[in-house]
Structure 1
Amino acid sequence: MVEHVLLVEVFVTLFVIMDPVGTVPIFLSLTAGRSAASARRLAWQAVAVSFFVITLFALFGQQILNYLHISLPALQCAGGLLLLLVALELLTGKEEEPTATGDANVALVPLGTPLLAGPGAIVATMLFVQGIDSWESGTAVVIGVVAVHVALWLAMRFSLPILRVIREGGVLLVTRIAGLLLSAIAVQLVADAIRAFVAGEG
Structure 2
Amino acid sequence: MIEIAITAFVTLFVIIDPIGLTPIFVALTPDMNRAQRSRIAVRAVVIAFFILCAFAFFGEALLGAIGISMPAFRISGGVLLFLIAVEMLFEKRNPRRSTQADDPEPEHDPSVFPLALPLLAGPGAMATMVLLMGQLEDDLTAQIAVVGVMGAVLLITLGLFQISGLMERLMGRTGVNVVTRILGVLLAALSVQFILDGLRASGLGGA
- On whether the aligned pair clears a TM of 0.5, the verdict is yes
Give the match for residue 166 of structure 1: 171
- Note if contact 1:4-1:140 (Cα within 8 Å) is conserved in structure 2: no
Deviation at 1:103, TM superposition (A): 5.5
Give aligned pairs, total: 198
Which SS does the other structure have where 2:186 is aligned? helix
The one-letter amino acid paired with 2:203 is V
Which of 121, 132, 144 is equivalent to 2:125? 121
Which SS does the other structure have where 2:31 is aligned? coil
- Note if contact 1:50-1:116 (Cα within 8 Å) is conserved in structure 2: yes
Q: Partners in 2 of 1:180 and 1:61 — Cα distance? A: 31
The one-letter amino acid paired with 1:46 is A
Gaps in structure 2 of 5+ consecutive residues: none
Moved more, 108-117 or 165-174: 165-174
Deviations 1:19-51 (A, max 9, x none): 101101110111111111111111111111111
Q: Partners in 2 of 1:179 and 1:107 — Cα distance? A: 18
Counterparts of 1:54-65 in structure 2 under 5 Å?
54-65=52-63
Deviations 1:135-170 (A, max 9, x none): 331232122111111111111112211112222111
2:32 aligned with 1:34: yes
Moved more, 151-160 or 80-89: 151-160
Give the match for residue 188 of structure 2: 183
Deviation at 1:11, TM superposition (A): 0.9
TM-score, with length taken from structure 2: 0.90
Which SS does the other structure have where 1:84 is aligned? helix
Distance 1:135 1:28, change over 3 A: same
Deviation at 1:182, TM superposition (A): 0.9
Q: Partners in 1 of 2:7 and 2:112 — Cα distance? A: 27
Q: Partners in 2 of 1:4 and 1:104 — Cα distance? A: 41
Distance 1:4 1:146, change over 3 A: same
Distance 1:196 1:31, change over 3 A: same
Deviation at 1:104, TM superposition (A): 6.4
- Give the share of equivalent positions with the same residue, in percent: 38
Deviations 1:52-77 (A, max 9, x none): 11111112211211111111100111
Moved over 6 A (4+): none
Which SS does the other structure have where 1:32 is aligned? coil
Deviations 1:73-108 (A, max 9, x none): 001111111111111110111133446775663111
Gaps in structure 1 of 5+ consecutive residues: none
